[in-house]
Structure 1
Amino acid sequence: MSICRLIFFAAVAVMLFFTGCLSGNQPQTVISGGVIDLEEHTIAFSPLFSSGAVLQRDIPIPVWGKASPRARIRCTLNGTSRITVADMQGNFRLYLPPQSAASGLALVAEDLTNNVKTVSENIAVGEVYLVAGQSNMEYEAKFTPTWKNKDFQHSNDPDMRFFRIPVNKYPGPQSSLSGSWKSDSPQNSGKFSAIGYFFAREMREKFDRKVPVGIIGAYLGGMGAETFTSREALLRNPDFAAEVKAVDLDNYDEKYFQDLPLDQDLPNSNKRLMATIRNGFPADKFPAQLGLKQNWHLPEFDDNAWEEIVLPDSWTVAGYNHAGVFWFRKAVDIPEEMTGKELTLAIGEADKCDETYFNGTLVGTTGDYREFKDFMTKRTYKVPAHLVKAGRNVIAVRVSSAASIATDGGLTGPAKFMKLTAEKSEIPLAGKWKMKMEHNFGTWGMEFMRTMGPGAPTTLHTLYDNMIHPLIPFAMRGVVWYQGEANAICMADTYQRLLLTMIDDWRFRWGQEKLDFIIVQLPGYQPASDYQQHSQWAKLREAQRLAALASNSSLIVTLPYGDEYNIHPGNKAPVASLAAAAAWENLHNSKSWQPPMPQNCFRSGSTLTVVFDREITADTPVKTLFAAGKDKVFYPATAEINGNKLIITSSKVTEPLFVRYAWSNNPHAANLYSAKGNYQVPPFEIKASN
């Protein structure tokens, strides 16, 4: 080796020696919880603890991140420190002692072994809630009438902060997540969950703006509760155990990755869904069109034996909780002034494909029974003048849907878009129709969604694995849960057990037995009705009510805040206000805000008495109340209120046994409230105990 090279290496060695000596007691720092890179040593917090984070007050605070393997780590907040050691992969976690409400703090993590550290600034300690669920929780604040009508665009509260968990769909529990905390500002808040945003505002006001509030969002439209529930919990639930075991084997099958480009990490679940439906229902194997063969489209066909349904609505309200092919017929009386003129026939929306006949002639068709793109398309067709005659004319609509996904089947309106018109004359078509099933496609659609495989967020426990698991055990006060629409189509009967499974599992995994759960009940949706025997939304609301009682959770009744025309009602601020009232009272160990709950029911002769946990009232005679005997055929009932008792009779039920209240998709007339506080009584079914 030449003398020049020896001198060079010696100089480098000396430089490194003195650099190390000079920097040995000066840790390298990066602000905002970023990664420190000093030679091979790094340290970083989870993004949950990045600058601007809100940490839960008054309980131990878990803090975690990544550092060099086996490094000694010290974390400090507000003058209090704790020490731990990173594991062989460099993961560290420790618990800081409880802190009082504060803001403007620094959270520091130091690698004492390798002399590096990271600092997250502007840390607050206050109240933290997780808002989770599907599309009505995802609904953004900027789309609400409250946001549009008030000057929220200038809102700027630095101690109201949000963290939205990104949607990922990887198989198996994930250990980390991305994201960052955002403070309330015109640029940030309008994009956050409306429920979460207005809930946070209410809580800040209740604390006189002295306690910071942090909201974490974990939500995605169209998702069932089963995707938010852990694999282990679902295995303990008999309704899902077999499917979980099937997913265990199928989720890692090579078939999903055979044709997948290497630069794409997961298969496209939407393409797979569409391909599966098309392969399962190829056009050449479409069920024989029994209806056409039996002349169901002709005006002279006798439909007296068909069942009656009030449209617009889904065939699920008639008890058909599955996909299929159904016919709807309606006779209309055409006056002389419309005879022999071209008419415009509007039937509203149809899920998913319609074939529409007027006096036996096909006048229009829209959609494909295997696709979802047209299920909200309003159908309007021209009826040729020569088909229009005076007197009785018949409209027949064949509606087909191959897969049940969240909602299904029927002529779904809205009512104002169902009409027959000619110039200035108009005949409304909403109301009583005749209906008959041609073919049953079953419930495979929802079953397939739960087991679709990698890349599909609907697959069992996928959103738990990707959004909830990496969040645990971040300290928080509670959860606001707004979900259920996706489970209402054909899973309402199992929803109570599923929701209880999820709640119990989350509380166990967080190590917080009393973690608040605030359940937002489904609002009213679709045309108003006092009673629907087979309403799946009513069943699901009852499952939510019973789950709340069994888990000591809070229940938010939202019937007045729905929209019969829109499954995503925009009036979110009052719902958030009720959730905030529940959270506030829970903090103070009070239940005065709770809606009155039926506790017991007993029979005396032809009278049923329902006993509530507090006094009730109604502004007019009690509406949407129905009673039944042991045959469970329900008839309208009347009632008197005596304190906390509802005394019920029905002229058509001599030996009553069951009571249903507000039992329909949209029981808009429901009018039972608490005598104090004016909290609405939730829909319920109860059976006499004697």
Structure 2
Amino acid sequence: MKQVLAFTLFLLLPTPLVSAAELKLASVFSDHMVLQREQSVPVWGVANAGESITVKFANQTKTTTADENGKWQVELDSMKANAEPQSLVVESGKEPNRVELTDVLVGEVWLASGQSNMEWEMQMKADSKADIPNSTHSNLRLFAVPLTTALTPQDDVDANWTRSSPETSASFSAIGYYFGLRLHEELGVPVGMIQSAWGGTRIEPWTSVDGFEAVPALRSEADRIRSQTPGTPEYRKSQEAHLQQVQQWTESLKTALQQNQAAPPLPTQPTTLAKSHGTPTALYNAMIHPLVPMAIRGAIWYQGESNHGEGLGYVDKKKALLASWRNAFKQPELPFYFVQIAPYQYGEEDPEILARFWVAQRECMKIPNTGMAVITDIAELKDIHPQHKKEVARRLSLWALADTYGQADIDPSGPLYANHKVDGSAIRVMFSNADSGLTSRDGKPLSDFEIAGIDGNFHPATATIDGNQVVVQSPNVPEPKQVRFGWNKLAMPNLMDKDGLPVCSFHTHWPIDPTLGYNLALGCTWESSDPNAWGWNSGLTDGVWGNRNPQCFATGVSDEFPKSVTIDLKKTQTINLVRFGVPDVGSTKTVAISVSEDGKTFQEVGTHSFGQGKAERAVIEFDDTTARFVRLTYVDHHSGLAGGYNNTFAFTSEAEVYRAK
């Protein structure tokens, strides 16, 4: 037993680092690669500790010494583009070990990353498959990172650079290929494309723990990751605390057994991160970090389908991703151009969820040195992988050519909502990036415009182009306040600029209502007099006017009326307007709104009776009132059923509270 214990302790002791006996370049270096022009170019690898290293390329000779772990790195001076194949030679020691890479070019290097729409291979769609026989381009080089995961940052990947050809392009990212080819043709220099993408992945696995740390709202996520990652001090601390709890539990168990009492529960072991493509940092560690600190020009990104239900929460995650990549590649202004995901059915999901995500993606454009390609006009509503990858790549390349390469004659952005004003019974909408003029893509009347009054009940609207503006109106809304465009997961609007780029979807009053101000109830808690036991116990203050669980709230099925739900605004404040609504299911009829400072004495400020079987919204306006609590009282219900639900459920799609000016 002592021998076994001694051997176990020996295995747990830290082992000394063993330096590499063989001279090696990092795996991202191989024959046929492209080195980034007009930047200093890191070249790195491993050798014996303390060994002298010499790197030769393009009439440059750089020397260094491998550190105690055998790692070494030099930086080549900035170089001009060169399409003539050259050799990169690395030598070490008195009797040199020697590594030589051949057919190395100097040009532009871009990283293409994201989920399946970026990973989607040339051979997988008819239009891109047709281009494979003509994909021989000696100065377009491809590097595909294999799908792999890791819990800690890795130094190498099993991949090599290749020349673009029918044999190599067929399994390469279609968007990566077309983007690289367009840059090669427009700039007249070699281009290297690095594909590092994995279908179905969220943004979190592509982000380093330092990236999460860089965004204040996500620092708790960084702490969680560190505490669950083997090898970190935080992980050791949490496991040691668990060990102490287990030891205490052992003593408690002995005592319980001696006294014939119930055994205490075993303490739950702290979580250890799973090695999975869904684990935060796992893809950064395995598929991005091995490329670091390679000199690259920028990155293109097509991802979001797996995060599309998060709304504005995605913005902080995109900030974290960019912080991690820009820090790792030592380029604080690394260009980053991304695709706004396409319209798609997404099953029975609320049709506004995707629209809110589009707003989040547009918000990401406020991060410096980013650009967004809108593709609402080339979607395939029943296929989450739209076919027209060449056009997606072209729109991404417009951003690179305009913003990265300074081609001032290109406006890479389609028109973006800028402002609006009420003009009698119509609303006039203004756009930025519309200098080329507005037009209808198919020559038909403009589609997918809706207009609403203060109650937020939207109606289909007619829209006409007036110069670089659009005038929107509806006979059903004589006093319009707000407009939305393309606000549906299936919307493929026909409004575009005369350069052929679609107008981005928008909502003049989401996420913040410019007329009413901030929704004071957003994210607040509540109590129901008749709690729902079937999962419809959320969604009341989540900012989503949903028709289904979990975006829609409901009371329980008790037949005792009136019943109520009371929202706690967290603090006493002045309010004067409540906006609320019912979904297209259920039998909710009359709802009374009351307010209170102490949660005990309530003052009714208004009531509204809804129809049945149709999603509706209502507004109760009242004089400025000091309150902390807002109560919705369900006075009665329709006798019939809608959506197959018992008529004693009281449904509410959303409740908003404002101090309107």
| TM-score normalised by structure 2 residue count | 0.63
> C-alpha distance in 2, partners of 1:506/1:629?
44
Alpha-carbon distance, 1:599 to partner: 2.2
Indicate the residue corresponding to 2:368 in structure 1. Answer: 551
Indicate the residue corresponding to 1:616 in structure 2. Answer: 438
Alpha-carbon distance, 1:681 to partner: 1.0
Cα distance, 1:606–1:173 mapped onto 2, change above 3 Å: farther
Indicate the residue corresponding to 2:326 in structure 1. Answer: 507
Cα distance, 1:620–1:216 mapped onto 2, change above 3 Å: same
Structure 1: tracts of 5 or more residues without a match = 1-38, 254-450
> C-alpha distance in 1, partners of 2:480/2:331?
43
> C-alpha distance in 2, partners of 1:165/1:673?
37
Indicate the residue corresponding to 2:338 in structure 1. Answer: 519
| Contact 1:170/1:454, CA 8 A, preserved across alignment | no
Indicate the residue corresponding to 1:343 in structure 2. Answer: none
Indicate the residue corresponding to 2:496 in structure 1. Answer: 673
1:602 to 414, 421, 426: 421
Cα distance, 1:627–1:551 mapped onto 2, change above 3 Å: farther
User: What SS class does the counterpart of residue 365 from structure 2 fall into?
Assistant: helix
Indicate the residue corresponding to 2:504 in structure 1. Answer: 682
User: What SS class does the counterpart of residue 610 from structure 1 fall into?
Assistant: strand
Alpha-carbon distance, 1:238 to partner: 5.7
> C-alpha distance in 1, partners of 2:506/2:367?
15
Deviations 1:211-248 (A, max 9, x none): 11111011111101111111122234466444443343
Deviations 1:94-123 (A, max 9, x none): 211111111301112222556323111100
Alpha-carbon distance, 1:552 to partner: 3.7
User: What SS class does the counterpart of residue 611 from structure 1 fall into?
Assistant: strand
Q: Give the 5 Å matches for 1:304-453.
A: 453=273
Q: Give the 5 Å matches for 1:276-287.
A: none
| Contact 2:214/2:323, CA 8 A, preserved across alignment | no
Indicate the residue corresponding to 1:75 in structure 2. Answer: 55
Letter in 2 for 1:109: V
Cα distance, 1:508–1:250 mapped onto 2, change above 3 Å: closer
Deviations 1:508-529 (A, max 9, x none): 3322233221111111222999
Indicate the residue corresponding to 2:119 in structure 1. Answer: 138
> C-alpha distance in 2, partners of 1:651/1:148?
49
1:93 to 52, 73, 81: 73
Deviates more, 1:644-653 or 1:540-549: 644-653
> C-alpha distance in 1, partners of 2:156/2:60?
26
| Contact 2:215/2:319, CA 8 A, preserved across alignment | no
Indicate the residue corresponding to 1:541 in structure 2. Answer: 358
Cα distance, 1:94–1:656 mapped onto 2, change above 3 Å: farther
Cα distance, 1:631–1:575 mapped onto 2, change above 3 Å: same
Alpha-carbon distance, 1:689 to partner: 5.1
Indicate the residue corresponding to 2:528 in structure 1. Answer: none
> C-alpha distance in 2, partners of 1:617/1:483?
29
Alpha-carbon distance, 1:609 to partner: 2.8
User: What SS class does the counterpart of residue 641 from structure 1 fall into?
Assistant: strand
Deviates more, 1:154-163 or 1:634-643: 634-643
Letter in 2 for 1:578: R
> C-alpha distance in 2, partners of 1:155/1:628?
51
Indicate the residue corresponding to 1:230 in structure 2. Answer: 208
Deviations 1:599-648 (A, max 9, x none): 22333454433221223233333210122344433222233323322233
Letter in 1 for 2:68: M
> C-alpha distance in 2, partners of 1:647/1:528?
33
Structure 2 residue 457 is the aligned partner of structure 1 residue 633: yes
Cα distance, 1:621–1:178 mapped onto 2, change above 3 Å: same
> C-alpha distance in 2, partners of 1:98/1:168?
33
| Contact 1:526/1:665, CA 8 A, preserved across alignment | yes
Indicate the residue corresponding to 2:43 in structure 1. Answer: 63
Cα distance, 1:654–1:234 mapped onto 2, change above 3 Å: farther
Letter in 2 for 1:145: A
Cα distance, 1:452–1:224 mapped onto 2, change above 3 Å: farther
| Contact 2:88/2:101, CA 8 A, preserved across alignment | yes
Structure 2 residue 141 is the aligned partner of structure 1 residue 161: yes
Alpha-carbon distance, 1:658 to partner: 3.1
Cα distance, 1:41–1:535 mapped onto 2, change above 3 Å: same
> C-alpha distance in 1, partners of 2:367/2:477?
31
Deviations 1:433-485 (A, max 9, x none): xxxxxxxxxxxxxxxxxx98322111111111111122122111111100011
Indicate the residue corresponding to 1:588 in structure 2. Answer: 406
Indicate the residue corresponding to 1:645 in structure 2. Answer: 469
Letter in 1 for 2:438: I
Indicate the residue corresponding to 2:285 in structure 1. Answer: 465
Indicate the residue corresponding to 2:22 in structure 1. Answer: 42
Matched length: 447
Letter in 1 for 2:422: R
Deviations 1:563-597 (A, max 9, x none): 22221223312212222232222312535132112
> C-alpha distance in 2, partners of 1:153/1:533?
43
User: What SS class does the counterpart of residue 159 from structure 1 fall into?
Assistant: strand
Cα distance, 1:230–1:574 mapped onto 2, change above 3 Å: same
Cα distance, 1:527–1:501 mapped onto 2, change above 3 Å: closer
Deviations 1:534-583 (A, max 9, x none): 42222222211121244341211112322222212233122122222322
1:203 to 183, 188, 193: 183
Letter in 1 for 2:291: L
User: What SS class does the counterpart of residue 160 from structure 1 fall into?
Assistant: strand
| Contact 1:77/1:108, CA 8 A, preserved across alignment | yes
Indicate the residue corresponding to 1:294 in structure 2. Answer: none
> C-alpha distance in 2, partners of 1:528/1:248?
36
Indicate the residue corresponding to 2:173 in structure 1. Answer: 193
Structure 2 residue 314 is the aligned partner of structure 1 residue 495: yes
| Contact 2:429/2:471, CA 8 A, preserved across alignment | yes
Structure 2 residue 256 is the aligned partner of structure 1 residue 455: no
Deviations 1:35-76 (A, max 9, x none): xxxx98532111212111111111111111112212232222
Cα distance, 1:498–1:527 mapped onto 2, change above 3 Å: closer
| TM-score normalised by structure 1 residue count | 0.61
Cα distance, 1:498–1:651 mapped onto 2, change above 3 Å: farther
Cα distance, 1:650–1:527 mapped onto 2, change above 3 Å: farther
| Contact 2:42/2:74, CA 8 A, preserved across alignment | yes
Q: CA RMSD in A?
A: 2.7
Cα distance, 1:204–1:40 mapped onto 2, change above 3 Å: closer
Alpha-carbon distance, 1:189 to partner: 0.9
